[in-house]
Amino acid sequence: MASPSEIPNHPVVQLLDSQGDSFPTGASYYIKNLCSNFHQTLTFNHETKTKTNPGALTTTAQATPDHKWLIQYENTDRSRVAFKSARNGLYLAAASADCKAPVHLTERMVFWWVHQGGAPGTYWFATTQSKDCFLHTWNCEAGEGSLVASFTNRDPNPEWGNFYEQPYSVFEEFSSGMSWGLEPTDEVLQWKGQQKISSEGQQSQGDGKEMKKRENDLAERGRLVEEREADSKRKDDELAKREQDVTGKEQAFDKKNQDFEKSQDALKKREESVRAAEDRIKKVKKGGQAEHLATQEEKDKLKDEMKGLQGEVAAAKNQISRLQAEVEKKGKGESTNVIAPVNGSKAQLSFSIRSPEVKRPSQRLPAIKTPGQALPERKQPGQNLPGRYDADMLKRAEAGRKAMAMSAKA
């Protein structure tokens, strides 16, 4: 088997038909040439072969086996093909490797190299029997009955000296006669239609599956959206409930602070009352036993009240400390100081708990001095005074004596 030609701009390619489609091996086609603008097709004269009526020639295409060729690949390679006559099953081959040598039919399968042609969708066919030997409509004749023969630049016959060992550019002058295209027959068109229907059915079935898959995906996305919305609503409800709890605790804390301030004010008033009572005790220079006892009872009562008020203050302080600890613990566990936004909202709810201000008196209570238990000295009038005499009378009498003494001296 000869190697393919190394002609520039015409590399070996995979064979396609005039519609640009690939086809299975053994499909039937019309082989038409470019020089007749694809009006003439390759056929074979099976009856009379003479010099004026050669075996391979071009005629107008007809739907008969004489005009149809079965294209077969070498294995699965579409760059080497064999042309089998649809009439008798014989294969197209070059009679010799000479220039203008006729082509004939043979029982042996002969392959042809497929080179890129001179126009899109066309091909040059070079026999594998000899290198650089191409199938050619001689002299690019476009009429019916034109000779189809081999064309080469390797024929040493002096008759073809103007082609012998010439560069590959010599083939370009006859490019239209060397360029062939495959036009599908009715059988191939029918097969393509069936393939198209089958492909469309498979595509439709695939589209249906894809549509169903998209619907399922859309339903799943809808379900996920609903779940997210429900979760978001649940979180909003929980956040609102926490805000209510925090607000209630703030109000309770404020009330406790107010009660504590009232208790402090009451304690201050009691302390002022105690100081006033002590001041009254200090101002009393003389007093009977009954007055002393009343003052002592008032003082004891004030002490008891003071102890009660101090107990209430201590209890209020303990309750405030517990409430502060509970609020701080709640703030750490539930982030009550700054409540995070839900679903990416920009709004933030924040609050701070004001520490209670303990109002205390500026001065401590003075030390309580217990008055002495001894009663003030009481002077009784003399026992030898006459009846109906009292201390005042004694004073008047003394004053009278002094007056009389002063008068006598004068």
- pLDDT tens-digit map of 287-302: 445 555 556 677 777 7
Amino acid at 39: H
DSSP string, 205-250: HHHHHHHHHHHHHHHHHHHHHHHHHHHHHHHHHHHHHHHHHHHHHH
Question: Across residues 379-398, what is the average pLDDT?
Answer: 64
Listed by start position, the domains of the chain span 27-193, 249-284+293-366
Question: Across residues 133-137, what is the average pLDDT?
Answer: 95
Q: What is the pLDDT of residue 318?
A: 84
Q: What is the pLDDT of residue 266?
A: 84
Q: Tokens 């839900």, residue?
A: 342
Q: What is the pLDDT of residue 303?
A: 79
Q: What is the pLDDT of residue 53?
A: 55
Supply the pTM of this predicted model.
Answer: 0.51
> Helices marked H in 161-185 — which ranges?
169-172, 175-178
Tell me the per-residue pLDDT of 318-347, one tens digit each, with 9 for 90 and over.
Answer: 888 888 787 777 766 554 444 444 444 444
Domain 27-193 has CATH 2.80.10.50: yes
Tell me the per-residue pLDDT of 76-105, one tens digit each, with 9 for 90 and over.
Answer: 899 999 999 999 999 999 988 899 998 999
